[in-house]
Protein backbone atom coordinates (compact mmCIF):
# COMPACT_ATOMS: atom_id res chain seq x y z
CA UNK A 1 0.00 0.00 0.00
CA UNK A 2 2.82 2.41 0.90
CA UNK A 3 4.51 1.67 -2.42
CA UNK A 4 1.30 2.41 -4.33
CA UNK A 5 1.20 5.81 -2.65
CA UNK A 6 4.85 6.56 -3.43
CA UNK A 7 4.32 5.52 -7.07
CA UNK A 8 1.25 7.77 -7.26
CA UNK A 9 3.29 10.65 -5.78
CA UNK A 10 6.05 10.10 -8.38
CA UNK A 11 3.52 10.21 -11.20
CA UNK A 12 1.96 13.37 -9.77
CA UNK A 13 5.34 15.11 -9.47
CA UNK A 14 6.38 14.18 -13.01
CA UNK A 15 3.00 15.21 -14.46
CA UNK A 16 3.13 18.52 -12.57
CA UNK A 17 6.71 19.10 -13.71
CA UNK A 18 5.81 18.42 -17.36
CA UNK A 19 2.88 20.85 -17.16
CA UNK A 20 4.73 23.63 -15.28
CA UNK A 21 7.72 23.39 -17.63
CA UNK A 22 5.29 23.64 -20.64
CA UNK A 23 6.67 20.39 -22.07
CA UNK A 24 3.06 19.18 -22.39
CA UNK A 25 2.75 21.58 -25.34
CA UNK A 26 4.04 19.96 -28.56
CA UNK A 27 4.64 23.47 -29.94
CA UNK A 28 7.36 24.04 -27.33
CA UNK A 29 8.98 20.66 -27.96
CA UNK A 30 8.92 21.13 -31.75
CA UNK A 31 10.38 24.61 -31.19
CA UNK A 32 13.32 22.94 -29.46
CA UNK A 33 13.73 20.35 -32.21
CA UNK A 34 13.52 23.02 -34.95
CA UNK A 35 17.17 24.00 -35.07
CA UNK A 36 16.81 25.62 -38.51
CA UNK A 37 13.89 27.80 -37.37
CA UNK A 38 13.29 30.09 -34.39
CA UNK A 39 15.04 27.77 -31.91
CA UNK A 40 13.49 27.46 -28.44
CA UNK A 41 16.01 26.12 -25.87
CA UNK A 42 13.42 25.57 -23.06
CA UNK A 43 13.73 21.76 -23.16
CA UNK A 44 17.45 21.99 -22.26
CA UNK A 45 16.60 23.74 -18.99
CA UNK A 46 13.87 21.20 -18.20
CA UNK A 47 16.26 18.29 -18.72
CA UNK A 48 18.96 20.17 -16.82
CA UNK A 49 16.67 20.76 -13.86
CA UNK A 50 15.70 17.08 -13.77
CA UNK A 51 19.31 15.88 -14.05
CA UNK A 52 20.42 18.27 -11.28
CA UNK A 53 18.05 16.48 -8.90
CA UNK A 54 18.33 12.88 -10.13
CA UNK A 55 22.09 12.67 -10.75
CA UNK A 56 23.50 13.50 -7.30
CA UNK A 57 20.97 11.34 -5.43
CA UNK A 58 21.55 8.41 -7.79
CA UNK A 59 25.35 8.72 -7.85
CA UNK A 60 25.77 9.35 -4.12
CA UNK A 61 23.10 7.08 -2.67
CA UNK A 62 21.55 4.51 -5.02
CA UNK A 63 24.80 3.52 -6.75
CA UNK A 64 26.41 2.77 -3.40
CA UNK A 65 23.52 1.06 -1.60
CA UNK A 66 21.60 -0.48 -4.54
CA UNK A 67 18.57 -0.59 -2.24
CA UNK A 68 15.54 1.62 -1.73
CA UNK A 69 14.93 3.64 1.45
CA UNK A 70 12.68 0.70 2.42
CA UNK A 71 15.77 -1.57 2.17
CA UNK A 72 14.55 -3.48 -0.88
CA UNK A 73 16.75 -4.14 -3.93
CA UNK A 74 16.61 -1.60 -6.77
CA UNK A 75 15.90 -2.90 -10.25
CA UNK A 76 18.53 -1.21 -12.36
CA UNK A 77 19.04 -2.15 -16.03
CA UNK A 78 22.44 -3.62 -16.98
CA UNK A 79 24.64 -1.11 -18.69
CA UNK A 80 25.59 -3.55 -21.43
CA UNK A 81 26.69 -2.52 -24.90
CA UNK A 82 24.37 -0.78 -27.34
CA UNK A 83 22.89 -3.26 -29.80
CA UNK A 84 21.00 -3.06 -33.06
CA UNK A 85 17.55 -2.87 -31.47
CA UNK A 86 18.59 0.05 -29.24
CA UNK A 87 19.85 1.95 -32.29
CA UNK A 88 16.87 1.15 -34.56
CA UNK A 89 14.40 1.78 -31.72
CA UNK A 90 15.90 5.17 -30.82
CA UNK A 91 15.82 6.22 -34.49
CA UNK A 92 12.15 5.19 -34.92
CA UNK A 93 11.23 6.94 -31.67
CA UNK A 94 13.09 10.06 -32.85
CA UNK A 95 11.14 10.16 -36.12
CA UNK A 96 7.84 9.74 -34.26
CA UNK A 97 8.79 12.42 -31.72
CA UNK A 98 9.83 14.78 -34.51
CA UNK A 99 6.53 14.25 -36.36
CA UNK A 100 4.29 14.78 -33.34
CA UNK A 101 6.32 16.76 -30.79
CA UNK A 102 4.93 14.34 -28.19
CA UNK A 103 6.78 11.66 -26.22
CA UNK A 104 5.04 9.17 -23.88
CA UNK A 105 4.99 11.31 -20.69
CA UNK A 106 3.47 14.45 -22.20
CA UNK A 107 1.09 12.30 -24.29
CA UNK A 108 -0.38 10.68 -21.17
CA UNK A 109 -0.30 13.90 -19.14
CA UNK A 110 -2.44 15.55 -21.86
CA UNK A 111 -5.26 12.96 -21.62
CA UNK A 112 -7.37 14.95 -19.14
CA UNK A 113 -7.52 17.83 -21.64
CA UNK A 114 -10.00 15.78 -23.67
CA UNK A 115 -8.40 16.70 -27.02
CA UNK A 116 -9.26 14.08 -29.67
CA UNK A 117 -5.87 14.56 -31.36
CA UNK A 118 -4.19 13.54 -28.11
CA UNK A 119 -6.47 10.48 -27.89
CA UNK A 120 -5.40 9.56 -31.44
CA UNK A 121 -1.72 9.90 -30.50
CA UNK A 122 -2.00 7.89 -27.28
CA UNK A 123 -4.10 5.15 -28.89
CA UNK A 124 -1.59 4.82 -31.75
CA UNK A 125 1.27 4.73 -29.25
CA UNK A 126 -0.40 1.95 -27.23
CA UNK A 127 -1.05 -0.02 -30.44
CA UNK A 128 2.62 0.42 -31.40
CA UNK A 129 3.72 -0.86 -27.98
CA UNK A 130 1.43 -3.90 -28.16
CA UNK A 131 2.51 -4.61 -31.75
CA UNK A 132 6.12 -4.72 -30.59
CA UNK A 133 5.17 -6.94 -27.64
CA UNK A 134 3.41 -9.49 -29.86
CA UNK A 135 6.20 -9.40 -32.44
CA UNK A 136 8.86 -10.00 -29.78
CA UNK A 137 6.81 -12.79 -28.25
CA UNK A 138 6.25 -14.59 -31.57
CA UNK A 139 9.98 -14.32 -32.33
CA UNK A 140 10.85 -15.84 -28.95
CA UNK A 141 8.66 -18.87 -29.63
CA UNK B 1 14.67 33.79 -23.94
CA UNK B 2 13.04 35.33 -20.91
CA UNK B 3 14.37 34.87 -17.40
CA UNK B 4 10.90 33.77 -16.18
CA UNK B 5 10.71 31.05 -18.82
CA UNK B 6 14.10 29.67 -17.77
CA UNK B 7 13.14 29.63 -14.08
CA UNK B 8 9.81 27.95 -14.87
CA UNK B 9 11.59 25.34 -17.02
CA UNK B 10 14.16 24.65 -14.28
CA UNK B 11 11.49 24.32 -11.57
CA UNK B 12 9.36 22.04 -13.76
CA UNK B 13 12.46 20.02 -14.60
CA UNK B 14 13.42 19.73 -10.93
CA UNK B 15 9.93 18.39 -10.14
CA UNK B 16 10.32 15.79 -12.90
CA UNK B 17 13.70 14.82 -11.43
CA UNK B 18 12.21 14.64 -7.94
CA UNK B 19 9.35 12.39 -9.12
CA UNK B 20 11.79 10.18 -11.01
CA UNK B 21 14.27 9.81 -8.15
CA UNK B 22 11.53 9.13 -5.60
CA UNK B 23 10.33 6.21 -7.75
CA UNK B 24 13.88 4.84 -7.39
CA UNK B 25 14.20 5.70 -3.68
CA UNK B 26 10.87 4.13 -2.66
CA UNK B 27 9.94 1.66 -5.40
CA UNK B 28 13.41 0.79 -6.71
CA UNK B 29 12.31 1.44 -10.28
CA UNK B 30 13.55 3.48 -13.22
CA UNK B 31 10.97 6.16 -14.10
CA UNK B 32 10.75 5.20 -17.75
CA UNK B 33 7.27 6.22 -18.84
CA UNK B 34 7.24 4.12 -22.04
CA UNK B 35 8.36 1.01 -20.14
CA UNK B 36 5.86 1.56 -17.32
CA UNK B 37 3.00 2.09 -19.81
CA UNK B 38 3.83 -1.04 -21.82
CA UNK B 39 4.36 -3.01 -18.61
CA UNK B 40 0.94 -1.95 -17.32
CA UNK B 41 -0.63 -3.51 -20.44
CA UNK B 42 1.46 -6.65 -20.81
CA UNK B 43 2.91 -7.64 -17.42
CA UNK B 44 0.29 -9.67 -15.59
CA UNK B 45 2.61 -10.74 -12.77
CA UNK B 46 1.51 -9.87 -9.24
CA UNK B 47 2.99 -6.69 -7.81
CA UNK B 48 2.50 -4.57 -10.92
CA UNK B 49 -0.15 -2.30 -9.41
CA UNK B 50 2.46 0.41 -8.73
CA UNK B 51 2.48 1.05 -12.50
CA UNK B 52 -1.22 1.88 -12.51
CA UNK B 53 -0.77 4.18 -9.48
CA UNK B 54 2.15 5.95 -11.17
CA UNK B 55 0.25 6.43 -14.45
CA UNK B 56 -2.84 7.66 -12.59
CA UNK B 57 -0.68 10.34 -10.94
CA UNK B 58 0.75 11.38 -14.29
CA UNK B 59 -2.72 11.74 -15.83
CA UNK B 60 -4.29 13.56 -12.87
CA UNK B 61 -1.41 16.01 -12.17
CA UNK B 62 -2.40 18.69 -14.75
CA UNK B 63 -5.87 18.92 -13.15
CA UNK B 64 -4.14 19.94 -9.92
CA UNK B 65 -1.59 22.35 -11.45
CA UNK B 66 -4.32 24.08 -13.47
CA UNK B 67 -5.53 25.54 -10.15
CA UNK B 68 -2.25 27.52 -10.18
CA UNK B 69 -2.70 28.51 -13.85
CA UNK B 70 -0.36 25.86 -15.22
CA UNK B 71 -2.54 24.21 -17.83
CA UNK B 72 -2.49 21.83 -20.77
CA UNK B 73 -2.34 23.30 -24.29
CA UNK B 74 -5.74 24.41 -25.59
CA UNK B 75 -5.21 23.14 -29.11
CA UNK B 76 -2.82 20.86 -30.95
CA UNK B 77 -1.79 22.49 -34.20
CA UNK B 78 -0.78 19.29 -36.01
CA UNK B 79 -2.46 17.03 -38.56
CA UNK B 80 -4.11 13.77 -37.49
CA UNK B 81 -1.71 11.89 -39.80
CA UNK B 82 1.31 13.35 -37.97
CA UNK B 83 -0.14 12.30 -34.62
CA UNK B 84 -1.18 8.79 -35.67
CA UNK B 85 2.05 7.98 -37.54
CA UNK B 86 4.05 9.72 -34.80
CA UNK B 87 2.23 7.76 -32.08
CA UNK B 88 2.82 4.40 -33.77
CA UNK B 89 6.55 5.13 -34.22
CA UNK B 90 6.86 6.37 -30.62
CA UNK B 91 5.16 3.17 -29.40
CA UNK B 92 7.29 0.75 -31.44
CA UNK B 93 10.53 2.73 -31.16
CA UNK B 94 10.46 3.12 -27.38
CA UNK B 95 9.89 -0.62 -26.92
CA UNK B 96 12.58 -1.67 -29.40
CA UNK B 97 14.98 0.90 -27.97
CA UNK B 98 14.00 0.19 -24.32
CA UNK B 99 13.19 3.76 -23.37
CA UNK B 100 12.13 7.30 -24.14
CA UNK B 101 12.96 10.82 -22.99
CA UNK B 102 12.41 9.91 -19.33
CA UNK B 103 14.05 6.47 -19.08
CA UNK B 104 17.05 7.22 -21.31
CA UNK B 105 17.08 11.03 -21.39
CA UNK B 106 16.80 11.64 -17.65
CA UNK B 107 17.35 8.46 -15.60
CA UNK B 108 19.85 6.92 -18.03
CA UNK B 109 21.96 10.04 -18.51
CA UNK B 110 22.00 10.65 -14.74
CA UNK B 111 23.18 7.04 -14.22
CA UNK B 112 25.96 7.60 -16.83
CA UNK B 113 24.62 4.68 -18.86
CA UNK B 114 26.42 4.37 -22.20
CA UNK B 115 23.34 2.82 -23.82
CA UNK B 116 21.19 5.75 -22.73
CA UNK B 117 23.73 8.34 -23.92
CA UNK B 118 23.72 6.67 -27.36
CA UNK B 119 19.91 6.35 -27.45
CA UNK B 120 19.36 9.97 -26.35
CA UNK B 121 21.83 11.35 -28.91
CA UNK B 122 20.15 9.26 -31.63
CA UNK B 123 16.53 10.15 -30.89
CA UNK B 124 17.35 13.85 -30.42
CA UNK B 125 19.24 13.92 -33.72
CA UNK B 126 16.60 12.03 -35.71
CA UNK B 127 13.80 14.10 -34.19
CA UNK B 128 15.60 17.34 -35.14
CA UNK B 129 16.23 15.95 -38.63
CA UNK B 130 12.54 15.00 -38.96
CA UNK B 131 11.48 18.54 -38.00
CA UNK B 132 14.05 20.02 -40.41
CA UNK B 133 12.64 17.90 -43.25
CA UNK B 134 8.93 18.38 -42.48
CA UNK B 135 9.18 22.14 -41.74
CA UNK B 136 11.90 23.35 -44.09
CA UNK B 137 12.24 20.92 -46.94
CA UNK B 138 8.79 19.59 -47.83
Give the model's confidence band at A82: pLDDT under 50 very low, under 70 low, under 90 confident, else very high: confident
Give the model's confidence band at A59: pLDDT under 50 very low, under 70 low, under 90 confident, else very high: very high
Q: What is the DSSP secondary-structure string of B57-110?
A: HHHHHHHHHGGGT----S---S-HHHHHHHHHHHHHHHHHTT--TTIIIIIIHH
- Are B13 and A50 inside 8 Å of each other by CB? yes
Give the list of residues 6+ apart from residue B131 with CB closer than 8 angstroms, or none: A30, A33, A34, A35, A98
B41, B49, B89 member nearest A96 (Cβ)? B89
For B5, name the nearest residue in chain A, comparing CA atoms only. A42
What is the mean pLDDT of the segment spanning B127-131? 98
Q: What's the pLDDT at A44?
A: 97
Q: Taking CA B38 as the corner, what is the angle to CA B35 and CA B42, rounded to the nearest 5 degrees?
A: 130
* pLDDT, mean over chain B: 96
* pLDDT, mean over chain A: 96
Give the list of residues 6+ apart from residue B26 with CB closer than 8 angstroms, or none: A2, A3, A6, A7, A10, A68, A69, A70
What is the mean pLDDT of the segment spanning B10-29? 98
CA distance A25 to A53: 23
- Are A98 and B70 inside 8 Å of each other by CB? no
Q: Taking CA B16 as the corner, what is the angle to CA B10 and CA B20, rounded to the nearest 5 degrees?
A: 140
Contact indicator for A125, B91 with CB cutoff of 8 Å: yes
Helix, strand, coil share of chain B (percent; to 5) = 75, 0, 25
Give the list of residues 6+ apart from residue A110 with CB closer than 8 angstroms, or none: A24, A102, A118, A122, B62, B72, B73
How is chain A split into domains, by residue range?
Answer: 1-76, 80-141
The pLDDT of residue A1 is above 90: no
Residues in A touching B88 (Cβ below 8 Å): 96, 124-125, 127-128, 131
Give the model's confidence band at A68: pLDDT under 50 very low, under 70 low, under 90 confident, else very high: very high
What is the mean pLDDT of the segment spanning A5-22? 98
- Are A24 and B72 inside 8 Å of each other by CB? yes
For A129, name the nearest residue in chain B, comparing CA atoms only. B91
Q: What is the DSSP secondary-structure string of A41-88?
A: THHHHHHHHHHHHHHHHIIIIIHHH-B-TTS-B----------HHHHH
A20, A96, A125 member nearest B15 (Cβ)? A20
What is the mean pLDDT of the segment spanning A40-59? 98
Give the list of residues 6+ apart from residue A114 with CB closer than 8 angstroms, or none: none
- Are B17 and A133 inside 8 Å of each other by CB? no
Give the list of residues 6+ apart from residue A29 with CB closer than 8 angstroms, or none: A23, A43, A97, A101, A102, A103, A106
Amino acid sequence: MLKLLTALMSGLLIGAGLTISTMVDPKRVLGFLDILGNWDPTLIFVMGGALLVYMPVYQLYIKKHKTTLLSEPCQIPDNHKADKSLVVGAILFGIGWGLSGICPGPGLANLSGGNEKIFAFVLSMLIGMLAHHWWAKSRAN
Amino acid sequence: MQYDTIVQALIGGALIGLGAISLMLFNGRIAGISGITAGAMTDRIKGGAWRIAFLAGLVVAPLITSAAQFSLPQSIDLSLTQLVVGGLLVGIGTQLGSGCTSGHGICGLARFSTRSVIATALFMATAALTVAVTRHML
